[in-house]
């Protein structure tokens, strides 16, 4: 039997206590490589949020109307990935046409996001945890905001750190991983507030 968790709790928990990066360590590749500059990192975070919301909505209905009725659970990964890739393309095209200013800021990141495992992770968590539609949307939104928060924080710290003297071997990804670890420890502090599994 599933215990119904309030969508609001899911939303907040996915930002703070079950953060995609800081507690699930998903979507690390772009998180580490595009966190050198705060402005770009924040744009990437926004695009991830956007794509997460869209793909959870689409994948929710695909799962409910296609995968479960036809018993195709074993094809979940392939189907979800295909749908994510296609919807990212469509979002990019639509954005280029309808919101050109936004496309300049976020558009170039969209193809990168297609292969971001946090996006697939969000969809899979949604399926495994058997969320309702409202829960899924808020979970997608929360996970995206959580990812955005984490990458913005890391980028801001790395920008400050640009002035610091680092041991040569730690420059770049090395120090980013250490910062991420410390940030993850700090986020454990939130875990008493609420939790979702």
Partner 1 sequence: MVILTTVLSVTAVSVALAFIIIVAEYFFNNYGECEIDINGGNKVLKIEGGSSLLSALAGQKIFIPSACGGKATCGLCKVQVLEGAGPLLPTEEPYLTEDERKNHYRLSCQVKVKNNIRILVPEELFNIKEFVTTIESVTQLTHDIKGFKFKLPDGETVHFKAGQYMQLYTKPYAKVKESVYRAYSIASAPSDDGIVELIIRLVPDGICTTYAHTQLSEGDQVNISGPYGDFYLRGDCKEIVMIAGGSGLAPMKSIILDVLEKNIDIKMNFFFGAVTKKDLYYLDFFHDLAKRHENLRFIPALSKPAPEDNWDGEVGLITEVVDRYIEDCSEMEGYLCGSPGMINACLSVLNKKGMSDDRIFFDKF
Binding site for partner 1 (CB under 8 A): 40, 66, 70, 72, 74-75, 78-79, 82-83, 86, 89-90, 93-94, 96-98, 100-101, 104, 108
Cα diameter, the chain: 58
Is the CB of 9 or the CB of 57 nearer to partner 1? 57
Q: To the nearest whole angstrom, how small is the minimum distance from the Cβ of residue 17 to partner 1? A: 33
Cα distance between residue 119 and residue 112, in whole Å: 11
Instruction: Closer to partner 1 by CB, 172 or 181: give it.
Output: 172
- Which residue, 15 or 95, is less far from partner 1 as judged by CB? 95
Q: Of 6 and 33, which has the nearer Cβ to partner 1?
A: 33
Residue closest to 147 by CA, chosen among 36, 1, 42, 2 = 42
Q: Rounded CA gap, 156 and 153, in Å?
A: 5
Structure tokens at 47: 């695009």
C-beta of 20: minimal distance to partner 1 in Å? Answer: 24
Q: Which is nearer to partner 1, 40 or 132 (CB)?
A: 40
What's the closest the beta carbon of residue 87 comes to partner 1, in angstroms?
A: 8
Nearest approach, Cβ of residue 67 and partner 1 (Å): 9
The least distance separating partner 1 from the CB of residue 126, rounded to whole angstroms, comes to: 18
* Residue in the structure block whose two tokens are 């991420």: 180
- Cα 17 from Cα 136, distance rounded (Å): 17
Please tell me the distance from the alpha carbon of residue 73 to that of residue 180, in angstroms, as a whole number: 34
- Which residue, 13, 53, 52, 41, is CA-closest to 148? 41
């Amino acid at each position: 039997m599933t215990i119904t968790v309030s969508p609001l709790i899911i939303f907040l928990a996915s930002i703070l206590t079950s953060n995609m990066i800081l507690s699930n360590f998903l979507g690390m590749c772009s998180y580490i490589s595009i966190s050198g500059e705060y402005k770009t990192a924040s744009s990437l975070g926004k695009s991830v949020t956007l794509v997460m919301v869209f793909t959870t909505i689409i994948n929710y209905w695909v799962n409910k109307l296609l995968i479960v009725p036809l018993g195709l659970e074993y094809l979940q990964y392939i189907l979800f990935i295909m749908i994510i890739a296609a919807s990212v393309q469509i979002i990019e095209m639509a954005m280029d046409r309808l919101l050109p200013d936004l496309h300049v800021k976020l558009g170039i990141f969209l193809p990168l996001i297609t292969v971001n495992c946090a996006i697939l992770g969000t969809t899979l968590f949604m399926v495994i945890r058997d969320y309702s539609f409202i829960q899924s949307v808020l979970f997608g939104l929360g996970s995206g905001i959580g990812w955005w928060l984490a990458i913005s924080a890391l980028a801001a710290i790395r920008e400050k750190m640009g002035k610091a003297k680092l041991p040569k071997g730690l420059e770049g990804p090395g120090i980013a991983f250490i910062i991420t670890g410390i940030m993850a420890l700090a986020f454990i502090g939130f875990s008493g507030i609420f939790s979702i599994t």
